[in-house]
Structure 1
Amino acid sequence: MRRLHGTLPILFLLLAIYQVLGQDCGPSSEKRCVPHHKCQVGVQFRAFTNGNNGCAAPESCCQNIHILNDVLDINVEETVNPECGRPNIRGVSFEVPNMDGFAQEFEFPWMVALLDTIGNYLGGGAIISPEVVITAKHVLDNLTEDQLIVRAGDWDLKTNSEQFPHVDARIRSIVRHPGFDKRNGANNVALLFLQTPLKFTQHIKPICLPPDNRNFDYSRCIFSGWGKKSFNDYSYMDVLKKVELPIVTNNVCEYQLRRFFGNTFQLDNSLLCAGGELGKGSCMGDGGSPLACPLRENPQRYELAGIVNFGVQCGMQDVPVVFTNVEKFRNWIIDETSKNFNGDEPEPETEPENTPH
């Protein structure tokens, strides 16, 4: 996806006017695109998924008589000492009923998009502290710090009309795991240290790190990402995907993947698997994106079980996706964060050729 960065002052003026007045939508001029919370009629999932009547995802095509002109804009307030792993299950400024396959607005506040400097989407990652984002090493390739941007607090990458603005953060330092093996995806993890710490708000918060020896076998967890919806799609998603996936034991996963990688294939100890349900899973462009599992001590909060590593096509029956097992790297994360310390450390939670995704 290509994003436009840097434009003429007149365009900013036109955008400001557009945001105040809204554009016409639907078959007549009696409707306008307005933020969802300013329309008296609730958001309809069918309209949302069928082009949203020409409006951006954070907006509704609302009849003029139903527009709530006296409703104030929503303010972004900094959150002091936020709990890690707390999702916005009903969105922040609005909720869309029955959002099958899509996340609610800012549902996963730890989710980030990795972009190049002209705005092209590269992959995903997760916030683990104000200064640290975790992702997959293969997503970064040979890129340097000044060639990458971390975008936090976004939901629809196609528009800037969300009530809560995203934050584009520059990178101070990249730490790649030295044991990465591209042949089998082992140790596929990297840390991005930001130049300026993120301010935590309702739509930008960290996810918890799992404790030592956490076993996620047989859990049902949540994957989120902006990669392709299906293998044959030509482009990445604009609105964030949300897919519930079962954790698959390593023995079962290894056996199922041998159909594609041969009988000698062995799943490295640094990996875990999830998925294997038809039509569900990560896809190309999802590399580095988080797999979040409910905390056993508090299922309303989530910890980072994995980050997308590789897979076979997308959403195939009995073919799990392979994730980097974050628990295996907990000590490495803490050690590297200490070496690169410039503010806050991540909060530990105490309660054959493959296809890179």
Structure 2
Amino acid sequence: MKERILGKTGLKSAEIGLGCMGMSEFYGQADEAESVKVIRTAVEKGVTMLDTADMYGRGHNEVLVGKAVQGIRDRIVLATKFGIVRSDDPEKRGVNGSPEYVKQACDASLKRLGVDIIDLYYMHRKDPSTEIEETVSAMAELIKAGKVRHIGLSEVSAHNLKRAHAVYPITAVQAEYSLWTRDIEENGLLDTCRELGIGIVAYSPLGRGFLSGSIESAESLAPDDFRRNNPRFMGENMRKNAMMLAEYKKMAESIGCTPAQLAIAWILAKGEDIVPIPGTKRLKYLEDNINAANFRLTPEQVVRLEKIIDWKHIAGDRYGAEGMKTLDK
């Protein structure tokens, strides 16, 4: 698989990474043995970036990833995040970006992962009660301490990215980016990343599975799948959004790829500074996602796709009300 360079700090990654969140939570039940096999198979096939966070499965995901990378640690870019604090109520979460918490969270992640250093450490969400300069200064201290190699920010505004980057070079920004979520093109974040020389890691490049074309309705999902309560998958919103899929699937068929591969190929075509991290917990989907690297879209195909999946007409917010409150706008 081809490599891409994220930011000016020299971090290299295969052009497609692996999101590990669903192996622990949010997308229905997962088989831990298969999840470990998915991670190790991904690395065998050339994937280098593995993405996790301390809040996925309340720490379980980091433990799982740590188990999977034993013996192959030197072949991967290990990325994790801090900042979202879980409570007993699954619908309510806090955000903590205080310097003290940054250090505590990093030490806890290192222990769960079973590693000495994290390659890319993200602030998962901005803490509204802590100035971003304080949080980033604490993250920079982790680099000086030899616990972290590169730092990143997730779901940050262009304004706060500039403030953060003035404190210490930010290597990558993680943002939801797909054919049906293109906010970063409009809110200045993509332009700011490119102006400052910061890479973009695109999560949910398949639109939380919508762009795979296989989800018929929210009711068809597992009872504990969070998409059942995601506005875009509910009721009339889902019916409206699904109307775009027929032509989309026809385009994938004409190119000779699957709908999922088409979505990832679109991301790859949007710039050499972007690394998509499609998530999966199943081996059968892993190979499909990785093989998206075999398809290179022409500028004309990109334009056509963006007309078929018109993101301005997607119905519903990308998170529920509580999730939307945590986004840095």
TM over 0.5: no
Bin for the TM-score computed over the shorter chain: under 0.3
- Relative to total residues, which structure has the larger strand share, 1 or 2? 1
* Higher RCO (CA < 8 A, seq sep 6+): 2
| Bigger Rg, structure 1 or 2 | 1
TM-score of the aligned structures, taking structure 2 as reference length:
0.27
